[in-house]
Structure 1
């Protein structure tokens, strides 16, 4: 973690100090935070080891951080290089390639970090990795943009496999870091009966209620079903589905009533108010038909996961656990919809890593409107 007044430039740390004092965490813009649902507070206490007071404070900090990040993303333009929260969400760091923008970042209550690569630069590097051959990607389990280190990260079964992908993609190896891991993400679809909704003998989980015009339905994971596949409980059909490459789908459910809720802890209802993206480091909770309501934090955006069925790009990486049957289920931060469960590794007994498909892409792809309270 960088101390106040320290700037990161690529892999080199350069000590610089601002003349102006950095404001307390997220001093601007002011955002009124509604009382969070008790179920969300209880889950954050359980999964993040917080007190009730700490959970409420964290959610308020995260809401202010989301507003600050949204404003700075527009203000910084092409120099914007990402943002992330510290461990307790008390401080938002915002990266930029323009040292002159530091004062503007501080004015929003965030910690400025000057880096050598913009977010556009990092995304372009990851796009090259996405474009490598299937053979080159075979030894890597995932790759993603890591804004906190201003690099692209590749997780692979061994160092050589990661370096082979980098070489095949023709990217600057100094901009990519390789981590050796045993992690092998898999899609969360279960071929036994249970709650949620069914596609033949398979079970997945509803993401969020949506409408296409006036037609009701829900979004879920693309790997749960192809276009035209029928569902039961609730009855409907897959209007559209994209997997691999993406992992999203829209299920049309005529005759059913969409609601602005996500099932929380103990069957309680969590109200969805919008879809503002949470920052790296923000708390996030997932609802699924196998393991219920589970929470953790956002780790990285724009991850590409290499599933057995093919790679999926643009996913968000979290340390929330999940298990088969949770696929398609909702990820929500505070009262803001984030995305639908795609896959991951581990389980909810020993812990795991789970990836979600951001909800905005499926809304745009099929002309959907999120149902909110």
Structure 2
């Protein structure tokens, strides 16, 4: 049998109404040679986002308990590092080229606040994430959090103190975004499931595979690249809910050639050469089959999201360790790719609120954590996998794979994805496939529409 070249290019769509324009230099690395002297002199260096992520990971190790987060100042193209106290380690951070800011809350303080929220306020429709720009935990509540639930949440946040946590309302409802990028499909009892391929990878045993959202992997075992086609891949590991939202899906044909790239539409692709940690303040791009290419900024890290349970009307599906952004997403965008202009894989679309008309916030599974948990590597034989993550980048994610298979908590109804064909056109938005679609009306909507609506972002002129 001849080698099958995967028809699914990572995280792309068949067509875009307003395709992004990729200029030849869009992926060019920034020349930092002039910054070496600045670093030696202890002044802040000018950095591209991927280099800022690498430096942040290195300084996290160097500063130890003094490290209290970092963020990217996109206007100045500098890395700002929060530090508790002063001393030689802080001086080394300055010498490395970071802007060092003295703050009150340590990482341990913020993690303790998040633990209290998890214990006392794990209410469906709530989320929280660490925002290093304010040195606080930012707590969000969607439109379903009212009455006694709101009072309970507000009381918990107030108890943490105004210097530690801030509470805000967000529009819409938090829901998982099933699909995004190039569509993948599965036939399940009661209807079709549609999700999206995130990034092609090489599994630990050397076989070709891809990453997608965990709630897709717990909804269906076998996946096809067309709505009515035969399965081409089988779920190997799946985590949802719990410590992440990711699945490793192996191609059934070991000869499958799976390119390490993102389809940005209009015949353009972005080569994915490494995985990198997200940095607050950095510009990122999301590719989705519903809305095309959109960009925004990372707004928080180590986010916890409490989705309404798909299987228990009074339950909650809590997912931890996510990336929070202001990038928009809509039904049809789950599992798709979050990446940088330089070609670094950052995340897999999980869920959020709002849409691409009024805006919203979207949460992503970190790719570095998914790779560490599954043992997979990016691209052909994993070339470049994790290169941007820096020393110890996956340390905090160790053990995330222990949740593999935790999706049996979510049940078969975890995804209500109606199966719209990739580029299927009319009617793709309302495919609620019988019983699968019923769960969508419960408020925790899994998104599953096709990708014929174009995005408005461009990969030019960004960080």
Q: Aligning the two structures, in what range does the TM-score lie when normalised by the shorter sequence? A: 0.7 to 0.9
For residues 90-121 of structure 1, the C-alpha deviation after alignment (integer angstroms, 9 at most, x for no partner) is: 22210011222443222122211111222233
Contact map agreement 2:127 2:140 (CA 8 A) in 1: yes
Provide structure 2 residue ranges, at least 5 long, that are not aligned to the other structure.
Answer: 1-18, 32-45, 226-230, 310-316, 385-463
- Compared CA separation, residues 226 and 155, structure 1 to 2 (3 A): same
Partner of 2:240: 243
Alpha-carbon separation, structure 2, partners of 1:60 and 1:168: 39
Cα RMSD for the two superposed structures: 3.2
Once residues 349 and 109 of structure 1 are traced to their aligned partners in structure 2, the CA distance between those partners, rounded to angstroms, is 39
Equivalent pairs counted in the alignment come to: 322
Shift in CA distance, 206/88, structure 1 to aligned 2, threshold 3 Å: same
Structure 2 counterpart of 1:347: 355
Deviations 1:207-251 (A, max 9, x none): 111122211110110111328611111611111211122211111
The 1-side partners of 2:349 and 2:76 are apart by 23
Matched, 1:118 2:115: no
TM-score, structure 1 length as denominator?
0.77
| Residue 328 (structure 1) aligned with residue 316 (structure 2) | no
Change in 2 beyond 3 A, CA 1:179/1:170: closer
Q: How does 1:26-45 map to 2 (within 5 A)?
A: 43=20
Q: Helix, strand or coil: the match of 2:97?
A: coil
* Alignment partner, residue 231 of structure 1: 223
> What aligned pairs does 1:1-373 form with structure 2 within 5 A after superposition?
43=20, 61-100=48-87, 101-132=89-120, 136-138=121-123, 140-156=125-141, 157=145, 161=149, 164-165=152-153, 172-174=160-162, 175-189=164-178, 195-200=182-187, 201-212=192-203, 213-226=205-218, 229-233=221-225, 235-245=232-242, 246-255=244-253, 256-309=256-309, 310-333=317-340, 334-371=342-379, 372=383
Distance 1:215-1:360 versus aligned 2 partners, 3 A rule: same
Shift in Å, 1:318: 0.9
- In 2: Cα distance, 1:252 partner to 1:185 partner: 29
SS at match of 2:258: coil
TM-score of the superposed pair, with normalisation by structure 2 = 0.63
- CA deviation map 1:292-348 (0-9, x unaligned): 222111111111112122121111111111111210011112221111000112222
* Cα displacement (A) at 1:43: 4.8
Distance 1:161 1:313 in 2: 20
- Decide whether aligned partners of structure 1 residues 240 and 171 sit closer, same or farther in structure 2, where only a CA change above 3 A counts: farther
What are the superposed Cα offsets for residues 52-73 of structure 1, whole Å, 9 maximum, x if unpaired?
Answer: 99x9869963233223222211
Post-superposition CA distance 1:257-310 (Å, at most 9, x none): 222111124241111111121321111111222222221111111111121221
Tell me how far apart the structure 1 counterparts of residues 206 and 50 of structure 2 sit (CA, whole Å): 31
* Relative contact order, higher structure (CA 8 A, sep 6+): 2
Report the secondary structure of 2:55's partner residue. helix
Contact 1:125/1:171 (<8 A) preserved: no
CA contact under 8 A between 2:131 and 2:301: conserved in structure 1? yes
User: Secondary structure at the residue paired with 2:116?
Assistant: helix
Unaligned runs of 5+ in 1: 1-41, 46-51
Partners of 1:285 and 1:332 within 8 A in 2: yes
Q: Which moved more, 1:169-178 or 1:148-157?
A: 169-178
Partners of 2:75 and 2:377 in 1: CA distance: 33
Cα gap change, 1:106/1:80 in structure 2, threshold over 3 Å: closer, same or farther?
A: same
Matches of 1:350 and 1:167 in 2, distance apart? 30
Instruction: Looking at secondary structure, tell me which structure has more strand per residue.
Output: 1
